[in-house]
Structure 1
Amino acid sequence: MAIIPGEEILLGQSFIKVKYGDNEEAIFNPWCSTYTLLEWIRKTCKCGHGITIDLIDLEGHVRNLSTGIEEYANDLLHGRETYILIRVERESESGPNRYISLLNNLEQSNPELMVKLNNLSRPTTRKKDRDRQKKNNHNHSSRSIKGHRQESPTKRPTSSERHNKHTK
């Protein structure tokens, strides 16, 4: 088989490195469907079929390989890059995902990535909680109670209220 000049560079750039377990590494060719790649990763890295696996790059971007199983993996992954194997746990159909590193010493080897992975696993952000509280407070203040309208905290007192205040 003849090698075209420059082809060896292309071949070398097409492989990815996956880190897992006790600082183990495996090399995979992403020029296949994401389903095929995930099955090879599952087999090589000894992951059971009962868990959902994915990859995260060193910048903290989850590659979401399991969402496009018919796509080519090389469209979602970059050759010569290193990825960390992660387990994806779904809280519910509509709930957030929880990401767990399958590289045992990630907190020592790359603490910044571990922080990013933990942040991705948060169910909500503080801003969303604040927005939800504001909305709830607004809804409660505009509701009526037993046919009586709730008063606004900025409402000016009526003449009878002013009179009662002065007579006390």
Structure 2
Amino acid sequence: MFVTILFGDSKMEMFNLNCKLINFLHHLKEQCGLDFKECVDLMDSSGRVMNLEGKQQSTALTSSVLEERQYYVLLRVCRDDDTGGRKYVSLLNNFSQSHPELTELLRKLSNPDKERGRKIRGGRTQRSKQTRSKNISENDSRHQKK
């Protein structure tokens, strides 16, 4: 049972899943040249982040969290000082070229409040247009009846 982690300049490393998550993450950071205090996560090929941040000290088997024979992109988890939320940074250097479809997903994950604001504003604009056109139609109908 193994997974392949993508990072750096198109580097790929295979990691064993048959170990405790705490050991897996320690070895992952060591192999990828990261500081052990650094918070990391993984994103699968569908753009789903595995949410390993809260499991950094877990003794559960890694195979209970990750799927065997899958490819994952290594991410650095940072705190956004402005919003207090999480920000994900790909540790695969050519990420935007090699996985353009996932780049937008990663940007949205790093800015969920901005995305929610766009959806709300977009929804309000659409609703107000629909209401306006409905009111115009009703007024037209009234004028035609007279």
The normalised TM-score by structure 2 is 0.73
Deviation, 1:61, is 0.8
Deviation, 1:72, is 1.7
> What secondary structure does 1:120 align onto?
helix
Contact 1:18/1:28 (<8 A) preserved = yes
Contact 2:5/2:13 (<8 A) preserved = yes
Deviation, 1:66, is 3.0
Identical amino acids, percent of aligned pairs? 32
Which structure has greater helix proportion? 2
Pairwise mapping of residues 2-21 of structure 1 onto structure 2 (< 5 A)?
14-21=1-8
Contact 1:95/1:123 (<8 A) preserved = no
Deviation, 1:123, is 4.1
Matched, 1:97 2:86: yes
Q: Deviations over 1:63-98 (max 9, x none)?
A: 112312232211110000000000000236x83210
Matched, 1:45 2:32: yes
Larger radius of gyration: 1
Q: Deviations over 1:8-53 (max 9, x none)?
A: xxxxxx1000010000010001122211111000000111124211
Q: Which amino acid aligns with 2:27?
A: W
Q: Which amino acid aligns with 1:112?
A: E
Matched, 1:76 2:65: yes
Pairwise mapping of residues 152-167 of structure 1 onto structure 2 (< 5 A)?
none
Q: Give the counterpart of 1:54 among 33, 41, 44.
A: 41
Contact 2:19/2:62 (<8 A) preserved = yes
Q: Which amino acid aligns with 2:62?
A: A
Contact 1:65/1:73 (<8 A) preserved = no
The normalised TM-score by structure 1 is 0.64
Structure 1: gaps of 5 or more residues: 1-13, 135-168
Q: Which amino acid aligns with 2:13?
A: A
Structure 2: gaps of 5 or more residues: 125-146
Q: Give the counterpart of 1:26 among 13, 36, 41.
A: 13
| Larger RCO, structure (CA 8 Å, separation 6 or more) | 2
> What secondary structure does 1:35 align onto?
helix
